[in-house]
Structure 1
Amino acid sequence: MNRIVLWILGTASAVVLMFGYHTSTSGPQATTPVPAGTFTPPPTTSPPSTSPPSTSPSASPSAQPSAQPSAAGTSTVTGDVAQTQWGPVQVQLTLQSGKITAVSVPQYPNGNRRDAEINEYALPILINETVQAQSSQIDMVSGATVTSDGYIRSLQSALDQAG
C-alpha cells in the first residue's frame, strides 16, 4: 500500500513539474528595435574615441542602410538589418580615416530575459573583436551563435558600404 501511495505522489509531482515548465516563446515577433545608444558595452583597453556617439536616423526594423559623413573625416555607416530566428540584428560603425573607431548595435534580440542575458555577454565581445580586427573576420561567441551570425552579416554589409 505504501508503494502505491509513493508511486502516485511521485507521478503527480512529475506531472505538476512538467506543466509548470515555461519554455521560451520568443521569436522575431517578440523583439522590438532598440534605439541607438541604449546598449553600452563595458570599457575596453583601446583608446577612447574623441567623436560623440552617433545615433541612427531611423530605429525601425525596415531602416535602410546608410552612410553619413561628419566632421574631420569621420563617417557613420549602418549595415543592413540581419533577420535571425530570435530577432533582428543591426550594426552601425563609426569610421575615421577608414579605420573603425566605434561600433554600436541599434537592434538586437531582446524579447525576453534570456535574450538580454546572452546579448549582454556576447555583444561587447563582438564589438571589441570588430575594433581589434578592423574587419568582419571575427570569431563567433559560443552560446550566442544566432546573434553572432546576424552581427557578422550586418557588419559585413556596413563594411561593404564603407568601401
Structure 2
Amino acid sequence: MRARSAVLAGLASAAVLLIGWQAGNQADSTPGAATGKAANPPSGTGTTSGPGSPTAAGTSPGPAGPAGAGAKDGTFDGSQIQTRYGTVQVQAVISGGKITDVVPLQLTDVGSLSGEIDQQAVPMLKSEVLSSQSANVDTVGGATYTSQGYLNSLQAALDAANFK
C-alpha cells in the first residue's frame, strides 16, 4: 500500500511539473503548435449513449459574459464518453455567462488504480477549466484517457449551453 501511495505521489508531482513546464513553453511558441493543448474537441467526438445526450437542464437565457457570449445559464450534461478504462461524463454549470462548476457524473471504473488516478487528475482539470473558461486545456500527464474523456464531455456540455 505504501508503494502504491509513493507511486501516485510521484505521478502527481510529475504531472504538476509537466503542466508547469508546458505553461512556461507556451509563451515561447506559436499558439497550438506543439504545446500539448488538447484540441477543442467537436461535440460528436467519442461514443455517446443515452437518449438526448448531451442534455440541458435550465436552458433559460441568461446574461452573457465576455467568454460566454450567448451562453445560456443552467446545468448542462455532457456526452458519455467511452474510454479504454470506462465511461466519463461531466456536467457544466454556467452562471452569468461563465463556467462556475464542472461536476463529474461518471468517471473511469476499470481497476482501483484508475480511480486513484481520477482522484488526482479531476481536480487539476476542473481548476484549469475554471481558470481558462474553456475545455481547451492541457491534459494531465498519466491520466490521458480520463483527461480526454473529461474534456470531450465538457465540450459537449458547453456546446449545449451555446458557450463560446
TM bucket, shorter chain = 0.5 to 0.7
Listed one character per residue, the Cα deviations across residues 6-29 of structure 1 (whole Å, up to 9, x for unaligned) are: xxxxxxxxxxxxxxxxxxxxxxxx
**1:124-135, aligned counterparts within 5 Å?**
124-135=123-134
- Larger gyration radius, structure 1 or structure 2: 1
Given the two structures, how large is their TM-score scaled by the length of structure 2? 0.58
> CA offsets, 1:6-63, max 9 Å, x none?
xxxxxxxxxxxxxxxxxxxxxxxxxxxxxxxxxxxxxxxxxxxxxxxxxxxxxxx636
Listed as ranges, the gaps of 5+ residues in structure 2 are: 1-48, 63-72
CA–CA distance in structure 1, aligned partners of residues 142 and 83 of structure 2: 15
SS in 2 for 1:160: helix
Match of residue 98 from structure 2: 99
What amino acid is aligned across from residue 104 of structure 2 in structure 1? V
User: How far, CA to CA, are the matches of 2:136 and 2:59 in structure 1?
Assistant: 27
CA displacement 1:71-105 (0-9 Å, x = unmatched): 99440011111111111111101100220001101
**For residue 81 of structure 1, what is the aligned residue in structure 2?**
80
Matched, 1:62 2:50: yes
Aligned residues: 103
Q: Distance in 1 between matches of 2:157 and 2:83?
A: 17
CA apart distance, 1:142: 0.3
Listed as ranges, the matches of 1:22-41 within 5 Å are none
Tell me how far 1:70 sits from its aligned partner.
7.4
Q: Which has the higher contact order (CA 8 A, sep 6+)?
A: 2
Amino acid at match of 2:124: I
Which residue in 1 is equivalent to 2:38? none
Q: Normalising to structure 1: TM-score of the pair?
A: 0.58
1:76 counterpart letter in structure 2: T
| 1:40-55 alignment, distance < 5 Å | none
Return the offset for 1:156. 1.0
- 2:110 counterpart residue number: 111
Cα distance change, pair 70–161 in 1 and its aligned pair in 2 (3 A): closer
Specify the SS of the correspondent of 2:154.
helix
- Distance change (3 Å), C-alpha of 1:133 and 1:142: same
Structure 1: tracts of 5 or more residues without a match: 1-60
Instruction: Give the aligned CA root-mean-square deviation in angstroms.
Output: 1.9
